[in-house]
């Protein structure tokens, strides 16, 4: 049984790593440690001298503690590894995220424009799903790049948390309700009314709840 589980994990990681090479360019160096002191940046900071590397450049405690799920509108917190908290992950085409969800909380529908994602639930019971970009079918298993997905804590009393691996050092995230109703400048009301089949009062009410 354990061997089967290990094979499944290895298969997931192989798919994730192969996706990473397809999405991010091949690195020119074995590793790149972000030079956080450099004033210059182009798609991220430059690499510092590899002779100055330390073990701390390749480790982070950013994901070790629960995030604050009381901040924001949806009862969830997402903490992502970045070159600021993990300097040695530059150019490796991978990142990880800790996802904490309050009881009955939600990570709302969103997309990662530059990454595929694998999510593992470590505590609680989380409903995870995505909507196919071409057919609008709802699936609740595998997550793919560019498709809209969500995570919902089914437990109304206890929090849950999960960890995600993403095939990009900068996967990006576009939260559908926020990008739709709180864009700057705002989408015209007539577009939202026609797209969602709602009236002007409902548009104003949704905007107020998301912005307030």
End-to-end Cα separation, the chain, in angstroms:
50
Residue 12, CA distances (Å) to 15, 33, 116 in order: 5, 26, 11
CB 96 within 8 A of CB 63: yes
How far apart (Å, rounded) are the C-alpha atoms in residues 169 and 18? 14
169 known ligand binder: no
Whole-angstrom CA distances from 84 to 6, 47, 59, 126 are 32, 13, 12, 29
Q: Burial-class residue 87 by CB neighbours within 10 Å (0-12, 13-18, 19+).
A: buried
**What is the bridge-based pairing of β-strands 117-123 and 106-111?**
unpaired
C-beta separation of 83 from 90 below 8 A: yes
Which DSSP letter does residue 194 get? H
Q: 112 labelled as ligand-binding?
A: yes
Tokens of 96: 């990880």
Query: Which position has the token pair 């956080």?
Result: 36
Flag whether 117 is marked binding.
Answer: yes
Provide the 10 A C-beta neighbour count for residue 207: 17
Q: Which residues fall in the annotated binding site?
A: 110, 112, 117, 149
Binding-site entries for Mn(2+):
110, 112, 117, 149
Binding residues for oxalate: 112, 117
């Amino acid at each position: 049984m354990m061997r089967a589980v290990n094979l499944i994990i290895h298969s997931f990681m192989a798919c994730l790593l192969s996706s990473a090479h397809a999405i991010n360019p091949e690195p020119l160096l074995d590793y790149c440690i972000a030079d956080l002191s450099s004033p210059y940046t182009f798609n991220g900071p430059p690499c510092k001298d590899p002779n100055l590397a330390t073990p701390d450049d390749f480790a982070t405690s950013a994901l070790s503690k629960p995030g604050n799920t009381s901040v924001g509108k949806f009862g969830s917190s997402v903490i992502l590894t970045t070159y600021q908290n993990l300097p040695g992950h530059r150019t490796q085409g991978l990142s990880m995220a800790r996802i904490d969800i309050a009881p009955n909380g939600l990570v709302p529908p969103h997309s990662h424009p530059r990454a595929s994602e694998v999510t593992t639930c470590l505590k609680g019971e989380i409903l995870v799903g995505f909507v196919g970009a071409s057919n609008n079918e709802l699936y609740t298993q595998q997550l793919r790049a560019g498709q809209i997905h969500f995570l919902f804590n089914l437990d109304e009393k206890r929090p849950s948390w999960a960890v995600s691996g993403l095939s990009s050092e900068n996967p990006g995230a576009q939260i559908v309700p926020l990008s739709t109703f709180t864009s700057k400048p705002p989408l015209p009301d007539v577009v939202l009314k026609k797209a969602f089949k709602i009236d002007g009062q409902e548009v104003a009410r949704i905007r107020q709840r998301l912005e307030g």
